[in-house]
Amino acid sequence: MFLNSFGTNGFLLLAAFLLFSGIIVAKFSSRWGIPSLILFIMVGMVTGSDGLGLVYFHDAGTAQIIGVFALVIILFEGGLHTKWATVKSVALPSLSLATLGVLITSLLIGFSAYFLFNFSLLEGMLLGAIVGSTDAAAVFAALKERNIKAKMGATLEAESGTNDPMAVFLTLSLIELIAANDGSIWAMIPTFFVQMGLGLLFGLAVGKIGSLSINNIRLDSSALYPILSVAFALVTYSITAFAGGSGFLAVYVAALVIGNSELTYRYSIFQFNEGFAWMAQILMFIILGLLVYPGQLFTAEIMGNGFLLAFILIIVARPIAVFLSLIKMNYTVKEKIFISWAGLRGAVPIVLATFPIVEGLEASRDIFNVVFFIVLSSALVQGSTISNFANKLELVGKKKDVPHHSIELISMGKAQAEMIQFQTNRESAVVGKKLHEISFPNRANISAIIRENRVITPYGETEIKEGDFLYILVEAAYKERLKKVLEERVPRPETGVDSDADG
């Protein structure tokens, strides 16, 4: 209605309105204790044809394309911020959750859907496969800047970043079986291993090429480096998908490789991708909200059986899958309970639910509505209680220390110099030393220190404290020498270093 009346001007105004709405929602979601994805979806539903009627949108194919694009950006941003040292310690349990855990969850929900709804067994299994995986966008958003123990956060993020291949494989295989009405899913199992293998291979290869390119291509403007990183994310997904591999897995692996490499303009790349991921998330959830018709969703049958299915997923299927997947994996009962509770569903199940609609399956709209209701229930019930759950189970770790000030050098592509950001910890050899006592390379200078959200101007007598963020300007040729100085470690007692004084 709105678009038809005002054309291009109306479209731009509507886009601005939706972005402003998304930003306001993101601002207040944590204050209200409601996951932002719920509010983004509500914005889409309110502005849709069953709401204010500003937009009439029912193209599942377009929603699918937008959803896949947004998921690539979100997965890439999440992988960039994931520390490889942490992920490596939870690689096996995360892989078990991403494969066996998804399969068990899908089977349990599939049988439940078969008995609760008027679905055939294959249609029930299709619904189970669609909601079988946790969602990277939801998990990354829920855990960001929360002081959950590192082991828990790494397990959940690695699982959500790698479990999409299993869900996509099961979903597409079951759609093919339903559409063809013959064949066997067992014959498709080799395809899954091919997808996983190619995803891992392409992710590692493109990630390595990407990090080398970013560091060695001398661009005239620093603003081009973040765009280059996004280009690598998109090309990683596309070439892997064309080759028959898992594009989502490849993107996450490539981001891990790039994010854990020494990067030129690291701060610019990370900040740009974080903002872009927020924009992708806002766009994706609003579009998916537009695809929903509240009049069809909030019916007695969908709400009753959907809520029961969500209850089975949260209380029964997910915990069973987690406990079976983590047998003999060195996780305590409390940790398994928390991982069970934090298995959020989000954009991935909704995007996967558009596949049956695009293929024209008979029960596709009912499946979409039930999946949508399950996602809403999961995000609202689980997403809003993660922090409290962690506190109750005593799984709260050290508060994440994120600098609220930043220093960025602009357009140094030809200057052969970089600004390095380094955070000290208890074992850093530079902690407790005054600047004139540290053997920095001659071509390296500390430009600023950020301590407890305060900017400190350094001079010779300034003492380095635990948790300080050091911003060091260094010529590229001396970066490795500086790195050796910064990475030197000294064992210290658990009491830590007093960081109240400025030095």
Mean pLDDT, rounded, for 330-350: 87
Alpha carbon distances (Å) from 421 to 83, 145, 389: 16, 19, 33
The closest of 471, 456, 477 to 409, measured between CA atoms, is 471
pLDDT for 3 beyond 70: no
pLDDT, position 500? 40
Higher pLDDT among residues 124 and 418, named by residue? 124
Residue 19 CA: distances (Å) to CA of 14, 281, 496: 9, 11, 44
Mean pLDDT within 305-325: 91
Mean pLDDT, rounded, for 112-132:
89
pLDDT of residue 133: 85
Higher pLDDT, 404 or 76: 76
Whether pLDDT at 492 is above 70: no
The pTM score is 0.74
pLDDT, position 51: 65
pLDDT of residue 421: 78
Task: Please write the tens of the pLDDT for every residue from 173-200.
Answer: 888 888 876 556 666 677 778 888 898 9
SS (H, E, C) 327-354: CCCCCCHHHHHHHHHCCCCCHHHHHHHH
Q: What is the mean pLDDT of residues 443-463?
A: 85
Confidence at residue 254, expressed as pLDDT on a 0 to 100 scale: 93
> Which carries the bigger pLDDT value, residue 252 or residue 398?
252
**At residue 2, does pLDDT exceed 60?**
no
Percent of the chain predicted with pLDDT > 70:
84
Cβ neighbours around 53 below 10 Å, total: 11
Mean of per-residue pLDDT scores for the chain: 80
pLDDT digits 0-9 by tens, 343-377: 888 778 888 888 888 888 888 888 888 888 888 88
More confident residue, 267 or 279: 279
pLDDT tens-place string over residues 466-485: 888 888 888 877 877 888 88
pLDDT at 313: 92
Nearest CA-CA partner of 18 in 286, 278, 288:
286
What is the pLDDT, as a whole number, of residue 274? 85
User: Higher pLDDT residue, 480 or 210?
Assistant: 210
Nearest Cα neighbor of 255 from 99, 421, 74 is 74
DSSP strands (E only) in 399-442: 417-423
